[in-house]
Amino acid sequence: MAIEIPSIPLGGWIEGGLDWLTSEYSIVTRGISRVTQTGIDGLNDALMWLPEWGLLAIIVGLCWWVANLRLGIGAALGLALIWNLGLWEPMIETLTLVVIATLVAVVIAIPVGIAAALSERLYKTIMPVLDFMQTMPAFVYLIPAIPFFGIGSVSAIFATVIFSMPPAIRFTTLGIRQVPTDLIEAADAYGATRSQKLIKVQLPMSLPTVMAGINQTIMLALSMVVIAAMIGADGLGSEVWRAIQRLRPGDGFEAGIAVVILAMLLDRVTQSLRKGRKT
């Protein structure tokens, strides 16, 4: 008979910790929840207030402006298809969640990325944390989100921000670290302070890399927002979720294709921003 080794109650500890956080910081989480919800509703309402053709024209124009006419035409066709399939509203809801999650993620990620680039110690602490955040199965974040923020869009944003933030941090750090040392030396030689170096040399030179990170963040945010339908987030994800529950592959693919179109548009637009507008 084998000796019985008691299993470590890791899950129990984590749950205890989360419970404690939920009860102790409920004011904070409720505050965050309210602010985020207001943001989501505001943006969503604004986008829905515009007539479909109006918003479509704006997006097409934007694509044309930042990229080229081809992307403009592609955007027009893709969005018209989504409209035609009757998925306009869920598409807007998804877009809103992606935009807000990305904004929050980027606002946190860039300062953290800069700090990690400049401090070796912070870099060494933060990299394993990022590994953890990225490799933890995305669904797992959904579970604690519910006690924190309840079912719905705010929880979706919370899980999405955590899941999509790492690339923005990583790329910011990478971008700053790969500024050639002779340029840093040149800035030093002319007596630049740390902040002058950062603002005048390191940040502008790392901008393309940072933009690549933001592009990655947007893509991850989109995928997570769709998954977040499981905890009640609105949007294309919930269309897919409904199709699964009712076993209707047709509906599922329609919503899925809408996600693909949205993803391609977001990707191409941010990539064009990164490369700089072509004339």
Partner 1 sequence: MNENRNVKIRVRNLTKVFGNQPKKALEMHKEGMKRPEIFDKTGQTLGLSDINFDVYEGELLVIMGLSGSGKSTLIRCLNRLIEPTEGEIVIDGENIPELSDKALLECRRRHFSMVFQNFALFPHRTVQQNAEFGLEIRGVDKEERSKVARKALEHVGLNGWEDAYPNQLSGGMQQRVGLARALANDSTVLLMDEAFSALDPLIRGDMQQELLELQHRMQKTTVFITHDLDEAINIGDRIILLKDGAIVQIGTPEEILTHPADDYVARFIEGVDMSRILTAQHAMRPVRATAREEDGPRTTLRKMNENGIDSIYVTTRDRKLLGLAEVDAVEQAAKEGKDTIRDYLTQDFRAVGPDEPLHNLFAMFSEKSFPIAVVDDSRKLLGVVVKGAVLDELARAAEPAEVGADESEAGTDTANENIAAAGDA
178 is a site residue for partner 1 (CB under 8 A): no
185 is a site residue for partner 1 (CB under 8 A): yes
Residue in 186, 253, 275, 277 binding partner 1, rule: CB under 8 A: 186
Asked if residue 222 lies in contact with residue 100, where contact means CB atoms within 8 angstroms, the answer is no
The DSSP string of 185-203 is: HHHHHTT--HHHHIIIIIH
191 is a site residue for partner 1 (CB under 8 A): yes
Burial class (CB in 10 A: 0-12, 13-18, 19+), 251: middle
Q: How many CA atoms lie within 13 A of 209 on its CB side?
A: 19
Provide the minimum distance between the beta carbon of 191 and partner 1 in the complex, in angstroms, as a whole number: 4
Q: Closer to partner 1 by CB, 140 or 186: give it.
A: 186
Q: How many CA atoms lie within 13 A of 89 on its CB side?
A: 7
Asked if residue 239 lies in contact with residue 255, where contact means CB atoms within 8 angstroms, the answer is yes
Residue in 28, 42, 193, 249 binding partner 1, rule: CB under 8 A: 193
277 is a site residue for partner 1 (CB under 8 A): no
* The token pair that represents 102 in the structure block: 């990305």
Asked if residue 104 lies in contact with residue 156, where contact means CB atoms within 8 angstroms, the answer is no
* The token pair that represents 221 in the structure block: 């945010």
Q: Closer to partner 1 by CB, 35 or 186: give it.
A: 186
Provide the minimum distance between the beta carbon of 167 and partner 1 in the complex, in angstroms, as a whole number: 23
Distance CA 64, CA 75 (A): 9
45 is a site residue for partner 1 (CB under 8 A): no
Provide the minimum distance between the beta carbon of 239 and partner 1 in the complex, in angstroms, as a whole number: 44
189 is a site residue for partner 1 (CB under 8 A): yes
Window 203-262: residues binding partner 1 (CB under 8 A)? 204-205, 207
Q: Closer to partner 1 by CB, 70 or 200: give it.
A: 200
Provide the minimum distance between the beta carbon of 190 and partner 1 in the complex, in angstroms, as a whole number: 5
Distance CA 64, CA 76 (A): 10
176 is a site residue for partner 1 (CB under 8 A): no
Q: Closer to partner 1 by CB, 30 or 200: give it.
A: 200
201 is a site residue for partner 1 (CB under 8 A): yes
198 is a site residue for partner 1 (CB under 8 A): no
Q: What angle do CA 110, 261, 233 make, to 5 degrees?
A: 65
Chain centre distance of CA 87: 22
CA distances from 195 to 149, 222, 236 (A): 38, 34, 43
Q: Closer to partner 1 by CB, 21 or 203: give it.
A: 203
Residues engaged in binding partner 1 (CB under 8 A): 180, 182-183, 185-193, 196, 200-201, 204-205, 207
